[in-house]
Amino acid sequence: AQSVTQLGSHVSVSEGALVLLRCNYSSSVPPYLFWYVQYPNQGLQLLLKYTSAATLVKGINGFEAEFKKSETSFHLTKPSAHMRDAAEYFCAVSENRDDKIIFGKGTRLHILP
């Protein structure tokens, strides 16, 4: 069964610094991978998704993620953090044999002024 592990339940970075949120997945077949963001008191919204077309995926708000099969990773990055990026970020995986989407436990990103 597929699963996702997000390293670090809380990450703090200074405004303008690099954001790196880590995600490792487990899947017995080629996975589809997603990053979602949840702002306070809101539902989850999609940041980006990997569906095997390209290993480097660009998303909204300047975020991108790179699929590395050898490392079973799908880390999320942004070159320069903004205060508005403070939110909770979820990595998720699904497989092409069903539509079930499994989420990691989430990483709360704090932006320091």
Partner 1 sequence: DSGVTQTPKHLITATGQRVTLRCSPRSGDLSVYWYQQSLDQGLQFLIQYYNGEERAKGNILERFSAQQFPDLHSELNLSSLELGDSALYFCASSPPSRGNTEAFFGQGTRLTVV
State in angstroms the smallest separation of the CB of 14 from partner 1: 26
Name which position in 14, 42, 55, 80 contacts partner 1 (CB under 8 A).
Answer: 42
How far apart CA 71 and CA 74 sit, in angstroms, is 9
Residue placing its CB nearer to partner 1 in the complex, 84 or 98: 98
Count of residues of this chain found to bind partner 1 when the rule CB under 8 A is applied: 25
Name which position in 49, 59, 62, 77 contacts partner 1 (CB under 8 A).
Answer: 49
Give start and end residues of each alpha helix (H) in 1-113: none
Ranges within 93-112 binding partner 1 (CB under 8 A) = 94-106
Residue placing its CB nearer to partner 1 in the complex, 17 or 22: 22
Strands 102-103 and 87-95: antiparallel
What lies within 8 Å, CB to CB, of 48 at 6+ separation is: 34, 35, 57, 58, 59, 60, 63, 64, 65, 76
Our finding on whether 61 is near partner 1 (CB under 8 A) is: no
Q: How many CB atoms lie within 10 A of CB 76?
A: 24
> Which parts of this chain interact with partner 1 (CB under 8 A)?
32, 34, 36, 42-46, 49, 51-52, 90, 94-106
